[in-house]
Amino acid sequence: MAISALSPKTTSIVADCTVQSFPGADGLAAPPAQRKPAGPQPVQVSVADAPPYLRRSYILTGYPAARTYGTAAYHTLCGYNNETLNAWTMIVGLVAMTWMYFAARAWFPSENTAFLVFLLSAICHTPFSIGLHCFTGVSVNTRDRWRVLDIGMIATCCVPRGAALAWYVFSQPLFYYVFVLALALDYMYCLLSIMYWRGLSHDIPKKVIAKDLAMLVSVYPLPVLLAGVQETLVLGAAGPALKLYLGMAASLLLAAYLYAEHIPECWHPGRFDRFGNSHQIMHILVIGEYALEWLFMCHMAGKHAISA
C-alpha cells in the first residue's frame, strides 16, 4: 500500500519510522561520509575552521587550535602557525633589549640607574605580549584576558620609560617630578578610557586598536623632542636628539599604519599568513624604535659624562 493512501496519523508514524531507520539516527552508527576522522585534534586550522574571534582579515591559514596552555605554548613556540613569529619577534626583542642594557652599563658605568629603569620599563610588558600570542587560540575568554594584560602593561610601562628618557633632560628636579606625575595621570586616563569605556573584546577593529596604541605611545617620548629642540637652538641646526626623535616618530607611525591597513597581506591574501604580515612588521618597527630610544639615552649619558 502506498504511504499516500494511509490516514494522516498513520502516514506520520510511517514517516517517523522511515527516518529513524537510516543509519545515524537515534545513536546508530553514521555512514562513513558523515563520520569525523579519528585521531588527535589538529593544532592548526584554516580560516574556515577557526572560531570567529581568531579570524583576521587576509590571513587564511595557520590559526592555532590547541585548547590547553601547555600545548598552545608548545605549538606556537616550537611549531609554525600564524602566531609563531609574533611571539618570537618579542622574544628576540627581549634579548636585544637586555644586551643594550649591559652594553650601556659597560660604556657608562656611572649611569646604571637610568638604563636599568629604561630596561625594566620595556621588558615588563614583553612577557604579556608573548603570552597573548601563545595562548590566543585556547579560548575567546583567554584571548581577551591576555589582551587586557598586554594593553594594560603597555600603558603602565610607558610611565617609567618616559621617566628614563627624561632623566637627563630636566635640569631641575621639580620639573622632572612634575613631568613624571603628569605622565602617570595621562596614562591612567588613557588606560581607563580604553579598558572600561571602549572595552577590549575580540571584535575591536585593528584601526581602533592602532589608534589606541598610538595614543598610548605618543606622550612618553616628549623629553626626546624637548632635548632635540634645545640642541637645535644651541647648534643652529638639527642635532642628534631631534633626528632620533624624528626616527622614533616615523617608526611608530609606520608601524601603526601598516598594522591598521593590513599591509602587506591585503595585497596577496594567504601569502603572508605565517611570515611577513603586518603584525610581525609592527613588532620589528617597535623594537627598532626602542633601539632609537636607547641611542638617545647613550647620547645624553655621553653628554652628561663629558660635562661632569
C-alpha cell at 117: 629603569
Cα dihedral: 50, 54, 56, 58 (round 10): -20
Separation of alpha carbons 109 and 105, rounded Å? 5
Could you tell me the CA-to-CA distances from 163 to 51, 101, 148, 149, 222 in Å, in that order? Answer: 42, 16, 24, 22, 10
Give SS3 for 64. Answer: strand
Direct distance between the N- and C-terminal alpha carbons of the chain, in angstroms, rounded to an integer: 110
Report the helix count and the strand count for the chain, using DSSP H and E: 11, 2
Separation of alpha carbons 139 and 68, rounded Å? 9
Chain-centre distance for alpha carbon 42: 25
The pairs formed by 239-245 with CB atoms below 8 angstroms and a separation of 24 or more are 240/296, 240/299, 241/296, 241/299, 241/300, 244/292, 244/293, 244/295, 244/296, 244/299, 245/221, 245/296
Radius of gyration (C-alpha) of the chain in whole angstroms: 27
133 is annotated as contributing to ligand binding: yes
262 is annotated as contributing to ligand binding: no
Residue ranges of the annotated binding site for Zn(2+) are 133, 279, 283
Residue ranges of the annotated binding site are 133, 279, 283
